[in-house]
Amino acid sequence: MKYIYIKTWGCQMNEYDSSMIARYLEKTGQYLITQKTEQADILVLNTCSIREKAQEKLFHQLGRWKTLKSKNPTIIIAVGGCVATQEGKEIIKRAKHVDIIFGTQSLHKLPKMISEVEKNKKFMIDISFPQLDKFNYSLPIKTKGYTALVSIMEGCNKYCSFCVVPYTRGKEISRPSDDILFEVASLAEKGIREINLLGQNVNAYQGVTFNGKTCFFSELLRLISEIDGIDRIRFTTSNPLEFTDDIIEVYKDTPKLVSFLHLPVQSGSNKILQLMKRSYTIEKYEKIIEKLLKARPNIQISSDFIVGFPGESKEDFKQTINFIKKINFDMSYSFIYSSRPGTPASEMKDEINLKEKKERLYILQDCINKQTMSWSRRMLGSTQSVLVEGISKNNSMQIYGKTENNRIVNFYGPLEIIGQFAQVQINEVHTHNLQGILL
């Protein structure tokens, strides 16, 4: 038996991919997963290219692993994920100690690639896009906790001017609906109570059914809600461009779908949205929120924002802040714009200095944080349905769980209710968590 260490950077899709890598390798019966790099015979790095200087971050990590390999030359180093797909053989030019480069769609080939390297001592690369082949292998589903990620589609066709995803993940392609339903049902049998559906644009899902018809995202949500044992459904991430009325209708009649939606907008300025090639307007976004609130009056919205995009004036930024207040977003992921090689935005003239960008990010995050706290204070005295996940990290005498709107609640209760839903009254509100009383 050999030991594999997997390091993951980036989004939930990367986390899901890393879990698949672990399952592919363990299925061979030749490998065990370890959490210690010094114990590993094979080091796997699953990369992300979204953030600034992703390539430099990769080579810094490979430099640290080079030290391990100099002590033990038999160690195999494999680099996968978005940066691997984007850079390909360029990686080996700077890091000759790398043995394998694999792409986002060739995870399933990793066991064979490792075997080839062990046998022939030859560098291997496969960054092809064989379209969903990685899902076409029977794998035992491993679970940890009571929530699970399930990928329903890959890739993106939107080609936003700042984004590398279409180049690293390929075009949109949806998994067959029956495959997804089988995976969710299998997870439910193993005790999973909450499912989070993943995709670069989940609302663009169009999976083939057993009889050759097309299953759209709204139908998939309803089918999953009928699976016994699954009591809570989330999804991430969506594009406002395809958040259609049939999806909004699901919020009316499917209570298992949470009253919390992450819907990235990126900017509150139509001018900047046009430069980003987002293909929708602020007015269209507002209309979606208006319809959602009619379908589910208690829904809370989180979003993504990019600050300091090329061409963003002080007036554009002011429009974004006003928009945040108007929608009253609960939470957000917000970043300073960073140029990604090969994207159209990387050719745009960026005249905003870093100091100004940092100031804008601080103002935006401060605004969101105040709104997050305001939403949390509204929960004081309310009764929340909490999926109990384990012993509290802050107080070993308490247990904790998550509310529908993604708040962690710590409270006193018996260990027997871990893995179940509990009714908890909120009696204290803190910045990063809530305190409650089990009813």
pTM confidence score:
0.88
For residues 185 and 380, give the distance between their C-alpha atoms in angstroms, rounded to a whole number: 35
- On average, the pLDDT of the chain sits at 93
Judged against a pLDDT cut of 90, whether residue 86 lies above it is answered with: no
Q: Is residue 215 part of an annotated ligand binding site?
A: no
The answer to whether residues 386 and 397 touch, using CB atoms and an 8 Å cutoff, is no
> 87: pLDDT confidence band, cut at 50, 70 and 90?
confident
pLDDT (0 to 100) of residue 128:
83
160 belongs to an annotated ligand binding site: yes
Cα separation, 401 vs 195, in Å, equals: 15
* pLDDT mean over 163-192: 92
The confidence score (pLDDT) of residue 50 equals 73
228/339 Cα distance (integer angstroms): 45
pLDDT at 144: 75
CA distances from 267 to 10, 309, 313 (A): 22, 9, 12
Written as six digits, the tokens of 350 are 């960026």
For β-strands 206-208 and 214-216, DSSP reports them as antiparallel
Nearest in space to 151 (alpha carbons), one of 124, 122, 126, 176: 176
pLDDT of residue 57: 87
pLDDT at 423: 98
d(CA 289, CA 284): 9
Q: Which helix (H) or strand (E) holds 115?
A: helix 110-120
> Residues 6 or more apart from 348 whose CB is under 8 A from it?
161, 275, 310, 311
pLDDT in tens, 368-418: 999 999 999 999 999 999 999 999 998 999 999 999 999 999 999 999 999
Q: Residue 139: is its pLDDT beyond 90? A: no
Q: Which residue has the tokens 């909120």?
A: 426
Q: How confident is the model at residue 283 (pLDDT cuts 50, 70, 90)?
A: very high
Domains contained in the chain, CATH given: 2-126 (3.40.50.12160), 380-438 (2.40.50.140)
- In this structure, are residues 432 and 400 in contact, taking their beta carbons and an 8 Å threshold? no
Average pLDDT over residues 276-304: 97
pLDDT by residue (tens digit) across 303-362?
999 999 999 999 999 999 999 999 999 999 999 998 888 899 999 998 899 999 999 999
Place of tokens 């195999």: 76
Q: Which two tokens stand for residue 24?
A: 């592919």
Type of residue found at 307: V
163 annotated as belonging to a binding site for a ligand: yes
